[in-house]
């Protein structure tokens, strides 16, 4: 039987108490872990992380909103958290504990002045999927099935205070650098503010779907404005398999390549043609049905300014990588190298940025790229671990660059991870760079 949640802590004191209570329990567990470490107990560190990750996810999933979105985002970055956190936090993608039906009815009556069963012929009282800011129910009218996303109560109102609560918790208990976590929290705040407005998601989704409709092997559900509001979003029900479930199953290499190609083409068309793209590349946002990729969520969308697009992708061009002066100039344009940096700082930073750019742009440098070869993704993770453990480099790289790069880097590395999990061979190409063309 599915365990449902009958309420969400709404006021600041209750939400703070939840996080602080978990922090105290984990603190006691840390003392126990340290004692085991002194005794050189095998697996003590892993045991601590597993228990901490489970307790943390349990708290975040009950609070929903900002804390759960932080967990969802952090689960995508293998370089940032130990494996135990990645595994627990990945549940935030679409399997958080659902809210009870009476709370759903209350939202419907506030938004549509009718109960779910007055709007639909049938409506599942228990959600079929739950994520960070809302949960999905299956409904039907005259035999036609719909997916109905219902926002958790209080998510939008508690966003600001939630992120302030999560920040010290993440820094202390997950051993994250303060400036590093701020990059994530600032992104969460901006994107989550938009994601709590389902009216915006509907209009933006319809626009991007229309512009992307010519892509091969890509499909999108239809949205229904008359059954949607700021906190309820109704679309077609798609009977497919979530992407992470799909790539754990047996499928032909040809079909895996087809899905990987669809992901690649979808990302590149939006980034390089529209300069506005789906910026939330976790498996819960994609379904596979009959060998086609369905994109089922447009809550998180990022628009790129022309100046940033030009400098960012010019940095990846063969000309820039071959010309040290041009490469350094583009790093300056992007705020990665500062005027105040001397020869010492530049001597450390420029080689690291060059290695990062070469890694990110490698799939573009050949007509076809095999993401099924684990060496490439392993090299990315090793680079992240090596640079992340370098205390001096961490000091130098904090508070540099543009927030636009965070969204774009996350999308690309998310794309690479998904293609890698699919073990797909993808036809790739270097985009037409705007700068200097």
What average pLDDT does this structure show over 72-79?
54
How far apart, in whole angstroms, are the C-alpha atoms of residue 165 and residue 168? Answer: 7
Residue 303, pLDDT above cutoff 80: yes
Q: How many angstroms separate the first and last alpha carbons of the chain?
A: 60
Asked whether the beta carbons of 132 and 64 are under 8 A apart, the reply is yes
| DSSP-assigned letter for residue 142 | T
What residues contact 141, with CB distance under 8 A and at least 6 apart?
120, 121
Q: How confident is the model at residue 54 (pLDDT cuts 50, 70, 90)?
A: low
How far apart, in whole angstroms, are the C-alpha atoms of residue 14 and residue 239? Answer: 39
What phi and psi values does residue 327 have, to the nearest 5 degrees?
A: -60, -45
Question: Please, what's the b/e burial string for 374-396 (b: 16 or more CB within 10 A of its CB; e: otherwise)?
Answer: eebbeebeebbeeeeeeeeeeeb
Instruction: Give the residue with greater pLDDT, 16 vs 255.
Output: 255
Span of 167-181, 204-218, 272-286 with lowest mean pLDDT:
167-181
| DSSP-assigned letter for residue 5 | B
pTM: 0.77
Q: How confident is the model at residue 77 (pLDDT cuts 50, 70, 90)?
A: low
Asked whether the beta carbons of 79 and 176 are under 8 A apart, the reply is no
How far apart, in whole angstroms, are the C-alpha atoms of residue 293 and residue 393? Answer: 40
pLDDT per residue as tens digits for the range 81-133: 555 555 555 554 555 567 789 989 999 999 999 999 999 999 999 998 876 67
What residues contact 366, with CB distance under 8 A and at least 6 apart?
428
Task: Sort strands 218-219 and 292-295 into parallel, antiparallel or unpaired.
Answer: parallel
- What is the predicted pLDDT for the residue at 63? 58
| DSSP-assigned letter for residue 131 | -
C-alpha angle 135-141-146 in degrees, rounded to nearest 5:
30
- What is the predicted pLDDT for the residue at 186? 73
Span of 17-26, 245-254, 317-326 with lowest mean pLDDT:
17-26
What phi and psi values does residue 275 have, to the nearest 5 degrees?
A: 55, 30
How far apart, in whole angstroms, are the C-alpha atoms of residue 152 and residue 149? Answer: 10
Burial of 108 (0-12, 13-18, 19+ CB in 10 A): buried
Q: Which of 43-57, 60-74, 139-153, 360-374 has the highest mean pLDDT?
A: 139-153
pLDDT per residue as tens digits for the range 160-208: 666 776 676 666 655 556 666 676 667 667 777 888 899 999 999 999 9
- What is the predicted pLDDT for the residue at 275? 94
Taking Cα atoms as reference points, which of 284, 293, 361, 272 lies closest to residue 322? 361
**What average pLDDT does the structure give for the chain?**
79
- What is the predicted pLDDT for the residue at 369? 95
Asked whether the beta carbons of 96 and 57 are under 8 A apart, the reply is no
């Amino acid at each position: 039987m599915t365990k449902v949640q009958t309420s969400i802590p709404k006021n600041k004191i209750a939400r703070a108490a939840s996080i602080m209570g978990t922090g105290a329990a984990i603190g006691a567990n840390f003392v126990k872990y340290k004692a085991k470490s002194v005794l050189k107990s095998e697996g003590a560190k892993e045991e601590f992380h597993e228990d901490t990750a489970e307790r943390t996810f349990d708290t975040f999933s009950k609070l929903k909103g900002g804390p759960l979105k932080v967990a969802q985002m952090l689960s995508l970055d293998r370089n940032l958290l130990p494996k135990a956190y990645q595994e627990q936090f990945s549940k935030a993608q679409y399997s958080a504990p659902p809210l009870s039906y009476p709370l759903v009815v209350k939202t419907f009556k506030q938004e549509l002045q009718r109960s779910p069963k007055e709007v639909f012929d049938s409506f599942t009282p228990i959600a079929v999927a739950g994520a960070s800011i809302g949960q999905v129910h299956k409904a039907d009218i005259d035999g036609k099935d719909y997916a109905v996303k219902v926002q958790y109560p209080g998510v939008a109102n508690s966003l600001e205070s939630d992120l302030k609560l999560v920040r010290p918790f993440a820094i202390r208990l997950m051993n994250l650098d303060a400036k590093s976590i701020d990059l994530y929290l600032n992104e969460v705040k901006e994107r989550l503010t938009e994601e709590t407005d389902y009216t915006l998601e509907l209009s933006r989704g319809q626009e991007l779907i229309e512009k992307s409709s010519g892509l091969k092997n890509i499909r999108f559900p239809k949205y229904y404005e008359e059954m949607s509001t700021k906190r309820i979003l109704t679309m077609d029900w798609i009977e497919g398999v979530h992407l992470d479930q799909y790539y754990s199953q047996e499928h032909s290499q040809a079909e895996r390549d087809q899905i990987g190609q669809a992901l690649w083409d979808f990302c590149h068309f939006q980034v390089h043609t529209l300069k506005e793209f789906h910026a939330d590349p976790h498996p819960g946002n994609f379904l596979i049905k009959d060998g086609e990729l369905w994109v089922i969520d447009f809550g998180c969308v990022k628009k790129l300014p022309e100046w940033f697009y030009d400098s960012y992708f010019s940095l990846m061009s063969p000309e820039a990588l071959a010309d040290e002066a041009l490469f350094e100039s583009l790093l300056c344009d992007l705020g990665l190298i500062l005027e105040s940096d001397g020869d010492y700082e530049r001597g450390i930073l420029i080689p690291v940025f060059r290695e990062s750019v070469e890694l990110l742009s490698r799939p573009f440098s050949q007509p076809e790229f095999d993401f099924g070869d684990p060496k490439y993704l392993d090299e990315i993770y090793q680079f992240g671990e090596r640079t992340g453990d370098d205390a001096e480099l961490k000091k130098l790289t904090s508070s540099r660059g543009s927030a636009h790069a965070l969204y774009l880097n996350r999308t690309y590395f998310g794309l690479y991870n998904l293609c890698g999990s699919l073990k797909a061979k993808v036809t790739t190409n270097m985009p037409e760079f705007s700068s200097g063309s």
